[in-house]
Structure 1
């Protein structure tokens, strides 16, 4: 029998009295890689994601959660609370042979959490620079790190191009041969749980999965779930999503079995929209990964907790940006975010459905690509080309929509309240709105720093480090 709302409130309050209402929660931050809007069960019932769906439906689906168009900039947001155009990471991603990095003068979320007593662990993909050890996870706030430094690699061999990239803290690490990446990550996460006292310690566990970034690789048993899909790339990709779902389910089962869920918050988000050229799908949103369209920047996300959320089981449409997770989680943990960061505390919005603490955000400002975009209220302004994946890519077996680089007008305006799929450019109809938004964009441009986009450095060659992509060359 379902508990009535008054009885449920009483039960929760009683639990908090027992647990100690002021006790900081365990925080589990899960990041999927290149997960499309239409690639999760709560948006597409053809997807088999039962573990994610259950948490999303019983928690809070974040329907207006925004990230960056590609991997590195989004991870920058999670770690620093600052827009990439304020850290120099606004243009593309950090390639393994390029000496780019997240600047050391920015204090990371795990560093701040450690200052207030948290134990901090990371498992998975870093992608924030590794040419020098000081830019790597265990020097940026994590007590332990297992995973890879670069942006992509083979899911089983951990090789990218001519180098191996898998590490345990500061040592090259070789997981069991042939073990699939999602399972390696979940096994390590569970191993960490066995080292932490859920009652007397506070855990921050950052789990940026490799899944479901290319290359398209997954054990057959997951791909066979989608035997009705005739297109190989889409079938494999969907299997990768289900493998991710199972790995997350194994972790959440372990959290519950070991007593962490009595006082834990789980955040789940993608790092950018799906790569439509690699099997993903973002319908009904326009565009995909690498673009300023909603399909590249509006991410599948939810929060879940057994007890910490005051309002659950609904879809939250309030505006949230990736930079907001830093101050939101730090405040929840009992810390104080530094003044002046781009992120804002969204805990009232996330936990109880209060209006968003922001009415504006910047999608990106990229002086190299010569494009930018900003959201103010219901309106979105795009300056320059949004990218090369500009259509509404259909699900297979239909062919992918053709790539197009425009031509686009210098400025496009969309009313996302009435046109969330960006079909109708209304810039010519509302020159006053365009003018006001250009003023806001100019304000932000004045604070932008140059992109840190160095050329490839041959000193990075894995042959210089025993065949491994390794720090130590800048």
Structure 2
């Protein structure tokens, strides 16, 4: 009996020792944050904390980082390692009252992290399905959740008014979940969500058992519409010089986001967690120019196949692994994070799903696993793929399709769809997609069209479903709760 106990204790302490050696990971994702929404691209903005992180000696910037053109497809690809067109999430976002979610047959990488001794936390936005408990974050690898299930809501009341949500019913969408409890939280009314999510993240860090590594997924609501002015300190002086109102309010929202990120990083330092924490930053898609966001000089907008809809600001900051600031120009797709993060934590994985491990590329500029091609998206009658320096778009890329500086008001009528059916760009030499090469390079166009056709054969049908009144807030004490499908 004594021997059995000693063996068990030995295994336990061995587990703790190995867990301590693993890095913490803080994954920060902004919402609708455009290419031109940082002060090193647009100096009229104020993002000193992001700037300091992005240009630190311990940071590698991913200059060719790509996601999907919309929120739910990107987040499903991030956690599963599969392209949205292989998951059924390629056609759009999950709506309120939609009886669907990312299929449960696809495991999310936080589930693996749990088996390696990680504590896993999520703060902020989920947007991957919520109608039944099995779709929720605390059933897909996270131990604790503070945030909202849907796609958009009021920054202060945390009620959703139906904005981009498929319903005009109003209800609370803010929850405090564990794997076995799912509780609406009405106590956060009046707290601006950007600051609220930073504070909730700090609370998790303070209560975290430092003997175990953590994965914290901090999914800000900012800077998604609705345009809601943050506390005045984020507007006064730092944004008053911007003449266009939408961009001025947006500037304040970006400034609040930057300050929130700075406060979380400061807490990592205060708790002596900073040196062993890998910080990843990115966005879920390009900026929404109708709501103050901007992607200039890239072409297009959120929800388009143009570069402005899918190329993002992204970086990896790691004091323990990166000793010199560098900018990587290799291609990186959101599906690569699964294998890359698993390799970060010691579970070397050359590839997973549609993604590849790019940790050695990030840290050592290794060319061993180099991405040469990827699918932007394949959906409806539109698609875009990348092979080397070349990008093929087939069908309607989406609107607005022009080049929109931050000083200009967007006019959709001026960017009407043309009769053109396909475009070909060399995005290495023409990153702003101004020179269509489809007529000049017919052989290359034909080859890429064949490649697209080949990839399209593995597409699965959309998993999206019509909204269902069973989930109405009137049945759940005024909340958009789970457990009805």
TM over 0.5: yes
CA distance in 2 between partners of 1:276 and 1:386 (Å):
16
Larger CA deviation: 173-182 vs 241-250: 173-182
- 1:453 is matched with 464
CA distance in 2 between partners of 1:50 and 1:389 (Å):
30
SS at match of 1:318: strand
How far residue 304 of structure 1 moved from its aligned partner, in angstroms, is: 0.7
CA distance in 1 between partners of 2:352 and 2:329 (Å):
26
Larger CA deviation: 135-144 vs 332-341: 332-341
Q: What does 1:372-383 correspond to in 2, within 5 Å?
A: 372-383=383-394
Q: What count of residue pairs does the alignment treat as equivalent?
A: 451
Tell me, yes or no, if the aligned pair for 2:298 and 2:432 is still in contact at 8 Å: yes
Larger CA deviation: 446-455 vs 150-159: 446-455
- 1:349 is matched with 361
Q: Residue by residue, what CA displacement relative to the aligned partner does 1:390-436 show, whole Å, maximum 9, x if unpaired?
A: 0111222x332544342242211000111100011110111111111
CA distance in 2 between partners of 1:338 and 1:464 (Å):
47
CA distance in 2 between partners of 1:104 and 1:409 (Å):
39
CA distance in 2 between partners of 1:249 and 1:462 (Å):
36
Say whether 1:292 aligns with 2:290.
no
- 1:64 is matched with 64
Tell me which of 206, 216, 229 is aligned to 1:205. Answer: 216
How far residue 337 of structure 1 moved from its aligned partner, in angstroms, is: 4.7
SS at match of 1:201: coil
SS at match of 2:330: coil
Tell me, yes or no, if the aligned pair for 1:268 and 1:302 is still in contact at 8 Å: yes
Q: What does 1:58-457 correspond to in 2, within 5 Å?
A: 58=56, 59-161=59-161, 162-169=170-177, 170-198=182-210, 200-217=211-228, 218-224=230-236, 225-310=238-323, 312-335=324-347, 337=349, 341-355=353-367, 357-367=370-380, 370-396=381-407, 398-403=408-413, 404-457=415-468
How far residue 338 of structure 1 moved from its aligned partner, in angstroms, is: 9.2
CA distance in 1 between partners of 2:261 and 2:400 (Å):
30
CA distance in 2 between partners of 1:291 and 1:450 (Å):
20
- Alpha-carbon distance change, 281 to 220 in structure 1, aligned in 2, over 3 angstroms: same
How far residue 287 of structure 1 moved from its aligned partner, in angstroms, is: 0.2
- Alpha-carbon distance change, 29 to 347 in structure 1, aligned in 2, over 3 angstroms: same
SS at match of 2:392: strand
Tell me, yes or no, if the aligned pair for 1:287 and 1:296 is still in contact at 8 Å: yes
Any gaps of 5 or more consecutive residues in structure 2?
1-16, 162-169
CA distance in 1 between partners of 2:75 and 2:118 (Å):
20
Scaled by the length of structure 2, the TM-score of the pair is 0.90
Tell me, yes or no, if the aligned pair for 1:112 and 1:335 is still in contact at 8 Å: no
- Alpha-carbon distance change, 233 to 359 in structure 1, aligned in 2, over 3 angstroms: same
CA distance in 2 between partners of 1:30 and 1:470 (Å):
25
Give runs of ≥4 in structure 1 deviating > 6 Å: 19-22
SS at match of 1:319: strand
Say whether 1:463 aligns with 2:474.
yes
Larger CA deviation: 437-446 vs 349-358: 349-358
Say whether 1:36 aligns with 2:18.
no
SS at match of 1:414: strand
Tell me, yes or no, if the aligned pair for 2:298 and 2:403 is still in contact at 8 Å: yes
How far residue 22 of structure 1 moved from its aligned partner, in angstroms, is: 9.5
CA distance in 1 between partners of 2:209 and 2:296 (Å):
43
Q: Residue by residue, what CA displacement relative to the aligned partner does 1:243-268 show, whole Å, maximum 9, x if unpaired?
A: 00000000000011111112110000
- 1:13 is matched with none
Tell me, yes or no, if the aligned pair for 1:392 and 1:401 is still in contact at 8 Å: no
Tell me, yes or no, if the aligned pair for 2:283 and 2:313 is still in contact at 8 Å: yes
How far residue 303 of structure 1 moved from its aligned partner, in angstroms, is: 1.0
CA distance in 2 between partners of 1:167 and 1:292 (Å):
33
Scaled by the length of structure 1, the TM-score of the pair is 0.92
Larger CA deviation: 24-33 vs 330-339: 330-339
How far residue 195 of structure 1 moved from its aligned partner, in angstroms, is: 1.8
Tell me, yes or no, if the aligned pair for 2:158 and 2:189 is still in contact at 8 Å: no
Any gaps of 5 or more consecutive residues in structure 1?
1-18
CA distance in 1 between partners of 2:412 and 2:87 (Å):
34
